[in-house]
Structure 1
Amino acid sequence: MEHKMKLYEEPFRAIQSGKKTVEIRLHDPKRRKLKENDTIEFTKLPSEDEKLLVKITKLCTYPTFREMFEDIPAEKFGIVDNNIEKRVESIHTLYSPAREQEWGSLAIEIELLFP
């Protein structure tokens, strides 16, 4: 099954370059439909003029983003700085702590198929 998601420029480019191999999302109803070996078409925001196709190689759920960041090496997220506090603060600008508590977090390990 193919899924569609959107990404801002920086994470889009990190996946495109191969530096980022794990995408972070809430484990909400839309993401609960993901399965290993499914594909995701990422569209770059804001212009939506570029797309990437990736294959899901592994899915890992965590109660919190902090637990995810403590478990998965920073380089898989395309991050050089391993400051977990900063990463939690940053992800909370996209996903509120209330939504995190409601749904939990999802690490989507991916393999680039088509740049």
Structure 2
Amino acid sequence: MQHTLELYDVPFYSIKSGRKTIEVRLNDQKMRSIQPNDILTFVYQKETIITTVVELLPYDSFLDLYQTIPFVEMDCENWTMHEMLAATYKFYTKSEEEKWGAVAIRITTAL
């Protein structure tokens, strides 16, 4: 199955360069429909990147996810835990996190 997800410029180009191999999202209904081997098309403005889902790693919270997944896999190796959480909560509320949890989506790009 194919899915389309929008990104901002920095994460888009991190995926495009191959430095980012984990996309972090709220584990909501849309993300729960994604399965390993599905195709994810990431979009930034008019550019796209086609990726394949390698695995999905669900967590109860973003904190649990960030304590488990090395930041380098998200192209954030020099970030602190505080910075990771602050950036995440710009997009998702604590209420949404409590309801849905978080998911790390391991991807690979077709080179």
TM-score range, shorter chain: over 0.9
Match of 2:49 in 1: 52
Aligned equivalents of 2:85 and 2:7: distance in 1? Answer: 18
- TM-score scaled by length of structure 1: 0.93
Task: Compute the displacement of 1:82 (Å).
Answer: 4.0
Between the two proteins, the alignment pairs up a number of residues equal to 111
User: How far does the alpha carbon of each residue in 1:73-97 deviate from its partner, in whole angstroms, 9 at most, with x for none?
Assistant: 0100011224112101110001111
- Unaligned residue ranges in structure 2 (runs of 5+): none
Query: What is the aligned partner in structure 1 of residue 60 from structure 2?
Result: 63
Q: How does 1:15-34 map to 2 (within 5 A)?
A: 15-34=15-34
Structure 1 ranges of 4+ moved more than 2 A: none
Give the percent of matched residue pairs that are identical in Structure 1 and Structure 2.
30
Runs of 5+ consecutive residues of structure 1 not aligned to the other structure: none
Q: TM-score, normalised by structure 2?
A: 0.97
Of the three residues 84, 92, 96, the one matched with 1:87 is 84
Match of 1:100 among 90, 93, 97: 97
- Give 2:25's aligned amino acid: R
